[in-house]
Amino acid sequence: MGYKLSKTSFDRLLQAMSKRYVPVGPMCAKNAGAFSDTDSIRYGKITSYADLELAQKSYFSPKEFVFPIRETLFRFNGSNREVPEVAARPIAIFARPCDINGFNRLDSVFLENGPEKDFYYARRRKNIKFFMIECLTGFESCFCVTMKANKTADYSVALRFGEDEILAEVKDEEFISLFEEYGEIIDYKPEFKESDNAKVELPNFEGVDLEAVFNHPLWKEYTQRCIACGRCNTSCVTCSCFSMQDTAYDAAKTLSERRRVWAGCHIDGFTDMAGGHSFRKNNGDRMRFKTMHKIYDFAARFGRNMCVGCGRCDDVCPEYISFSACINKLSEIIKEMKNV
């Protein structure tokens, strides 16, 4: 069903919806940027149309609502163990198709990657509904079309934010009465972006000697340029690695908690093992691992690439390392290897 709303009606709808859902979307967090007088575009609670920042891409993805930066898994108090509750109120995430597809990749990692579903992810994920933001142009570094992540049908409501009005397609029965009350019935179906600003060509790995790809001098460039800051991992909607932390609150260590915290393949210490062994000491090897995971390994397991082409890793790298340029270089190298 399609609806048209004025900005004022949209604000009223948002207020009414907030009684049951926590609406979150891309917003401008004032003075929360890298320096004290800079802002940060990130996901947060929205209460009105004016809160939404639609002209700029968010630095962080919305993944923290299902996979928080740090999460207490359980607490010990003597022999008692307690798993903390999470907020019961469901969350409505206003997100573009690439990010909704990013959740789809996270679902594969946390829910389909073994005999057991990840309990902590699953209990948050079932409380999420998507309000898809129609995205027809993307941003300079986006390549979601190449990654086949420009379209999705996984939304409760799709929204087109125009100059003066908002158009909505409501698929989820739960929200129909709200839009009936605040909107006017019209015909509307969302459209999707059909071409990328960043030109990216995916390598065709078929028949290629992967050992030769792994040992190619391409990766050495990143050993010199990458500073292992991990920004590309933390801003990525599909990076899902975490590390464990045990924290004791008393000297006897009877009162303690175990947390998981975001980790990333580019960050020092990520592959360190007991005895001091590390699988990927230099930063070029880490870039190789990330690249192959995002555009080869995940696809071999789940049938679609992990990377959704949001372009955030290109936007945030302080060394101007472009992941999309790396994919293009790899593509050329593989063509040379195959004499294409």
Residues that bind ligand SF4 (CB under 6 A): 226-232, 235-238, 266, 294, 307-313, 316-319, 321, 323
State both tokens at 311: 């372009």
Q: Taking the complex as a whole, how short is the minimal distance between the CB of residue 16 and ligand SF4, in angstroms?
A: 34
3-state secondary structure of 214: helix
Q: Taking the complex as a whole, how short is the minimal distance between the CB of residue 144 and ligand SF4, in angstroms?
A: 8
Decide whether 23 or 230 has the Cβ nearer to ligand SF4. 230
Question: Given the DSSP bridges, would you call strands 255-262 and 242-248 parallel, antiparallel or unpaired?
Answer: antiparallel
Q: Taking the complex as a whole, how short is the minimal distance between the CB of residue 266 and ligand SF4, in angstroms?
A: 4
Decide whether 190 or 309 has the Cβ nearer to ligand SF4. 309
Question: How far is the C-alpha of 137 from the C-alpha of 134, rounded, in Å?
Answer: 9
CA angle 284, 316, 201 (to 5 degrees): 65
Q: Taking the complex as a whole, how short is the minimal distance between the CB of residue 147 and ligand SF4, in angstroms?
A: 7
Q: Taking the complex as a whole, how short is the minimal distance between the CB of residue 157 and ligand SF4, in angstroms?
A: 24
Decide whether 155 or 270 has the Cβ nearer to ligand SF4. 270
Decide whether 71 or 99 has the Cβ nearer to ligand SF4. 99
C-beta of residue 241 within 8 angstroms of C-beta of residue 264: yes
Decide whether 27 or 106 has the Cβ nearer to ligand SF4. 106
Q: Spell 4-38 as b/e; 16+ CB within 10 A means b.
A: bbeeebbbebbeebeeebbbbbbbbbeeeeeeeee
Q: Taking the complex as a whole, how short is the minimal distance between the CB of residue 230 and ligand SF4, in angstroms?
A: 5
Decide whether 263 or 313 has the Cβ nearer to ligand SF4. 313
Question: How far is the C-alpha of 34 from the C-alpha of 305, rounded, in Å?
Answer: 31
Whose structure tokens read 């959704």?
A: 308
